[in-house]
Amino acid sequence: MTGDPRRTVPRTDAVLAEPPVAAAVARLGRELVKTAVQAVQQRVRAGELAPDGVVPAVLAQLPGTASSLSPVLNATGVLVHTNLGRAPWSAAAVEAVVAASGTTDVELDLGTGRRGPRGEGALGALLEAVPAAEAALVVNNCAAALALVATALGGELVIARGELVEIGDGFRIPDLLESTGARLHEVGTTNRASVADYTAALGPDTGAVLKVHPSNFVVRGFTRSVEVAELAPALAGTGVPLVADVGSGLLRPHLLLPDEPDLQTTLAAGADLVMCSGDKLLGGPQAGIVLGRADLVQRLRRHPLYRALRVDKTTLAALEATLRGPVPPVRHMLDAGPAQLHARATAVAAALRAGGVEAVAVEATARVGGGGAPEFELPSAAVALDVRFAEPLRTASPPVVGYVEGGRTLLDVRSLQPAQDEELTRVVLEVARRWT
């Protein structure tokens, strides 16, 4: 039995006691590291690995964090990519989440020692950013905000047929609304609605008139929709709230996106409540933001469903830091000029050629994504590589996600932060070295 390879396998407790492995246990947890140790031990038993290589092999197999999520370099040209986590956070938001991850004064007034208002800082930051709003509320996403409004305002919701849209993953707005028990009163036709259509639908059971921004599609041709500024005067004196889901989270108008509704303008035009996502063009964490009349916001806040939908301390911290801190990355991406983008792509391509990789900077077209500004194209620049790079880049460390077009792999720099250009270059060169 002296040649039995099982006798040469280091014991599990001995491997776990090795200082670098013990440090990994403290960082990642015992069970995760133990699983990696057992997998490496099996390689020794199979004769694939020498016993003295166990510790390095274990360390090489361990993930960077205890989470299965991997940081990804978004080179798709889609600024708010739902599959890639939507808006990247600012450094200020990340720092705020770390600070809030322990015990914090989320519902404690440190001055009096008594219970304080939850998320007061984040709500105050929202009101500063959108002065047309009297009050604010935050729930876990925009669909939750819509469900809370439908439930709390109750009764019948008047909505145009052309705004009964489907959002991501097959979820449909009418299904969401009806799941709350609300009844929908559809007005107009698929392509046209008028003010008279809305006012004729009002009745004693009307809970609200709802406007939903189509977001991810455009209807062209013989069309007509009723804007908030037209509808608000027609509803004045009826006691029926006008609620607008503006979707993408623009706080104020943006010159590049003249057709995208924003919170400030929509409220100023007469909406009683507006709602949007926090992780799109606002550039913060996933959240559903509701702004508007104080009495209506309070009605939502006091509804029992709100308790099930409210956000945690880290979301409140990230949202406040996004609003009060430096301009978030998604806004930098949106505002980047074509010349700046071309210079970045040219620099990355030159660095890759210096490393032996055929690469060239080319013009590209980027998009907002996340349902925002559908069909709106942003001039951009990309690094063009051999088409064979697409798959190995997706499995690299960190993964790089680009897209294939015209028989080439394109890496669009608009959806990357400038500080990521060097890492992008490193990963591409590393992938190229595997082929040589």
Q: Cis ω on the peptide bond leading into residue 398 (within 30° of 0)?
A: yes
Q: Looking at residues 113-118, what average pLDDT do you find?
A: 91
Which 8-state DSSP code applies to residue 52?
G
Q: Looking at residues 211-230, what average pLDDT do you find?
A: 79
Q: Looking at residues 262-287, what average pLDDT do you find?
A: 96
pLDDT value at 219 more than 80:
no
Q: Looking at residues 351-355, what average pLDDT do you find?
A: 97
Helix, strand and coil percent figures for the chain, each rounded to 5 = 45, 20, 40
Q: Are strands 135-139 and 108-109 parallel, antiparallel or unpaired?
A: unpaired
Dump the DSSP string for 250-294. BSS--TT-TTS-BHHHHHHTT-SEEEEESSSTT-SSS-EEEEE-H
Which 8-state DSSP code applies to residue 312?
-
Residue whose tokens read 């609605």 = 193
**For residue 3, what pLDDT is reported?**
58
Phi, psi (degrees; rounded to nearest 5) at 84:
-110, 20
Nearest to 79 by CA among 373, 388, 312: 373
Q: Looking at residues 191-212, what average pLDDT do you find?
A: 93
State the SS3 of 345-398: HHHHHHHHHHCCCCCEEEEEEEECECCECCCCCEEEEEEEEEHHHHHHHHCCCC
**For residue 171, what pLDDT is reported?**
80
Burial of 389 (0-12, 13-18, 19+ CB in 10 A): buried
Q: What is the pLDDT of residues 239-262, one digit of tens each?
A: 999 999 997 889 998 888 888 889
What is the value of pTM for the model shown? Answer: 0.89
**Of 67-71, 214-218, 293-297, 353-357, minimum mean pLDDT range:** 214-218
Q: Looking at residues 19-48, what average pLDDT do you find?
A: 92
Percentage above 70 pLDDT, the chain = 95
Q: What is the pLDDT of residues 90-109, one digit of tens each?
A: 999 999 999 999 999 999 99
Higher pLDDT, 88 or 217: 88
Q: Looking at residues 371-387, what average pLDDT do you find?
A: 87
Give me the torsion for CA of 312, 302, 127, 119, rounded to 10°.
-30
Q: Looking at residues 359-370, what average pLDDT do you find?
A: 93
Which 8-state DSSP code applies to residue 332?
H
DSSP reduced 3-state for 30 = helix
Higher pLDDT, 375 or 320: 320
**CA angle 393–397–400, rounded 5-degree value:** 35
pLDDT value at 168 more than 80:
no
Q: Which residues pair with 402 in a beta bridge?
A: none
